[in-house]
């Protein structure tokens, strides 16, 4: 069964610090790796995504680092702000799969002021 393993389950970071969330996968057929952000009472929303042909993608304070050989990818939030407090999900989409995205179990991030 396709699987994406996410860690940590929860994370507390001081305002201005760097938040790092990690994900690992097994299936080498995965070819699309998005991160979703979810605020309480809302549905998840796409934050940033990467394809395996690049090792890093940056959008503002958010960066995905991708290590194809290790089958790992991570989300870095620079200069973390209280408004970044949310649950973050990594996911993967198999090029050969027929059922959309497979999600990690989520990381509950709290940014302390």
Partner 1 sequence: IAGITQAPTSQILAAGRRMTLRCTQDMRHNAMYWYRQDLGLGLRLIHYSNTAGTTGKGEVPDGYSVSRANTDDFPLTLASAVPSQTSVYFCASSVAPPPNTGELFFGEGSRLTVL
Residues that bind partner 1 (CB under 8 A): 1, 6, 9, 32, 34, 36, 41-46, 49, 89, 93-106
CB of 109 to partner 1, least distance (A): 15
CB of 79 to partner 1, least distance (A): 25
CB of 97 to partner 1, least distance (A): 5
User: Smaller CB distance to partner 1: residue 10 or 14?
Assistant: 10
User: Smaller CB distance to partner 1: residue 43 or 113?
Assistant: 43
Q: Strands of 1-113 (E only): list them.
A: 4-7, 10-14, 19-25, 33-38, 45-50, 56-59, 62-67, 72-77, 86-93, 101-103, 107-112
Residues 6 or more apart whose CB falls under 8 angstroms from that of 98 comprise: none
Radius of gyration of the chain (CA): 14
User: Smaller CB distance to partner 1: residue 26 or 79?
Assistant: 26
**Dist CA 47 CA 32 (whole Å):** 13
CB of 66 to partner 1, least distance (A): 17
Residue corresponding to tokens 């960066």: 63
User: Smaller CB distance to partner 1: residue 80 or 93?
Assistant: 93
């Amino acid at each position: 069964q396709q699987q994406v393993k996410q860690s940590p389950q929860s994370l507390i970071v001081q305002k201005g610090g760097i938040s790092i969330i990690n994900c690992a996968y097994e299936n080498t057929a995965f070819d699309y790796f998005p991160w979703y952000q979810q605020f309480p009472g809302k549905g998840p929303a796409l934050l940033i995504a990467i394809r395996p042909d690049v090792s890093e993608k940056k959008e503002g304070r958010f960066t995905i680092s991708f290590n194809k050989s290790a089958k790992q990818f991570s989300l870095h939030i620079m200069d973390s702000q209280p408004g970044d407090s949310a649950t973050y999900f990594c996911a993967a989409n198999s090029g050969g799969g027929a059922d959309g995205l497979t999600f990690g179990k989520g990381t509950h991030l709290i940014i302390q002021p």
